Chains A and B, each alone.
Chain A
Amino acid sequence: MHQVFRRTVIAAVAALAAQAFAQTEITYWLWDSNQQPAYQTCANAFQKENPDIKVNIVQKGWDDYWTGLTTGFVSGTAPDVFTNHLAKYPEFASNGQIVDIAPLIKRDGVKTDIYYPGLYELWGRGGKQYGLPKDWDTIAIVYNKKLLKDAGISEATLRTWTWNPKDGGSFERVIAQLTKDKNGNNGLSKNFDPKNVVQYGFVINGSGGGYGQTEWSWLAVSNGFKFNDGPWDTKYYYDSPKLAETIQWLADLSLKKGYMVPISDVSRLGSEALFTSGKVAMLPHGSWMIKWFKDNAKFDVGFALLPIGPNGRKSMFNGLADSIWTGSKKQEQAWKWVKFLGSPACQNIVGSYGVVFPAIKSGVDAALQAHKKNGLDVSAFTTIANTKGATFLFPITDYASEISSIMSAAMDSIFLGKAKAADALKEANAKVNALFKR
Chain B
Amino acid sequence: MRNRAAYPLTLGRIVAWTLLAVLIFITLFPLWIVIKTAVTHPKELFQQASLLFPSDPTLLNFRRVLGLVSLEENLAVGGVANINFLTAMRNSVLFTLTIVVSQTFFSAMAAYAFARLRFPGRDGIFFLFLAATMIPGAVLFIPNFILIKNLGWLNTFQGMVAPFVLMTPFAVFFLRQFFLAVPKELEEAAHLDGATPFYIFWRIVLPISKTPLVTLAILTTINTWNEFFWPWIVSKDNNMQVLTVALKVFQSQTPQGSPDWTGLMAATFLAIIPVFILLVVLGRQVVESLQFSGLK
Contact = CB atoms under 8 A, between A and B. Distances in A.
A261 to B, nearest CB: 13
A59 B71 CA distance: 12
Contact of B258 (A40, A68, A273, A279): A273
A292 B252 contact: no
Given A34-B256, A295-B75, A276 B81 contact: no
Given A276-B46, A296-B78, A75 B149 contact: yes
Nearest to A74: B149
A49 interface: no
Interface residues of A, number: 33
Contacts of B155: 77
A270 B253 contact: no
Given A61-B252, A270-B257, A295-B78, A37 B46 contact: no
Contacts of B253: 33, 59-61, 64
A416 interface: no
B245 to A, nearest CB: 11
Given A37-B71, A40-B71, A77-B154, A289 B256 contact: yes
B207 to A, nearest CB: 45
B257 A273 contact: yes
A59 B260 CA distance: 14
Contacts of B81: 33, 36, 59
Given A76-B154, A270-B258, A60 B149 contact: no
Nearest to B235: A77
Nearest to A279: B46
B80 A33 contact: yes
A288 B257 CA distance: 13
A71 interface: yes
B230 to A, nearest CB: 14
Contact of B249 (A37, A60, A296): A60
A292 B154 contact: no
Interface in A22-65: 32-34, 36-37, 40, 58-64
Nearest to B255: A33
Contacts of A292: 255-256
B47 A37 contact: no
B288 interface: no
A110 B256 CA distance: 33
A77 B71 contact: no
Contact of B252 (A64, A205, A289, A295): A64
A75 B253 CA distance: 22
| Most chain A CB within a 10 A radius of its CB, from B76, B251, B255, B257 | B257
Q: How large is the interface on B (under 10, 10 to 19, 20 to 34, 35 or more residues)?
A: 20 to 34
A330 B236 CA distance: 21
A189 interface: no
B157 to A, nearest CB: 15
A75 B150 CA distance: 9
B75 A33 contact: yes
Contacts of B47: 277
B43 interface: yes
B74 to A, nearest CB: 9
A36 B80 CA distance: 10
Given A58-B238, A68-B236, A34 B252 contact: no
Contacts of B226: none
A17 interface: no
A59 to B, nearest CB: 5
Contacts of B46: 273, 276-277, 279
Instruction: Provide the main secondary structure of the chain B interface.
Output: loop
A36 B145 CA distance: 31
A287 B36 CA distance: 34
A276 B78 CA distance: 11
A64 B254 CA distance: 10
A315 interface: no
A60 B81 CA distance: 9
B26 to A, nearest CB: 22
B238 A76 contact: no
A252 B103 CA distance: 58
A36 to B, nearest CB: 6
B208 interface: no
A298 interface: yes
Given A64-B249, A75-B154, A272 B257 contact: yes
A141 to B, nearest CB: 17
Nearest to A288: B256
A295 B75 CA distance: 8
B76 A295 contact: yes
Contacts of B80: 33, 59, 61
| Most chain B CB within a 10 A radius of its CB, from A61, A64, A295 | A61
B71 to A, nearest CB: 6
Interface in A265-315: 269-273, 276-277, 279, 288-289, 292, 295-296, 298
A292 B47 CA distance: 18
Contact of A271 (B75, B76, B257): B257
B75 A269 contact: no
23 contacts: A33-B81, A33-B254, A37-B71, A37-B75, A60-B252, A61-B251, A61-B254, A64-B252, A64-B253, A68-B236, A75-B145, A76-B149, A77-B154, A77-B155, A270-B257, A272-B258, A273-B257, A276-B46, A279-B46, A288-B256, A295-B75, A295-B78, A296-B43
Interface of A: 32-34, 36-37, 40, 58-64, 68, 71, 75-77, 205, 269-273, 276-277, 279, 288-289, 292, 295-296, 298
Q: Sorted from nearest, which 5 A-B pairs have the closest CB atoms?
A: A270-B258, A277-B46, A270-B257, A61-B252, A272-B257
Given A58-B238, A272-B258, 19 more contacts: A32-B256, A33-B80, A36-B75, A36-B81, A37-B71, A59-B80, A59-B253, A61-B251, A61-B253, A62-B252, A64-B252, A68-B236, A75-B154, A76-B149, A76-B154, A205-B257, A270-B258, A272-B256, A289-B256
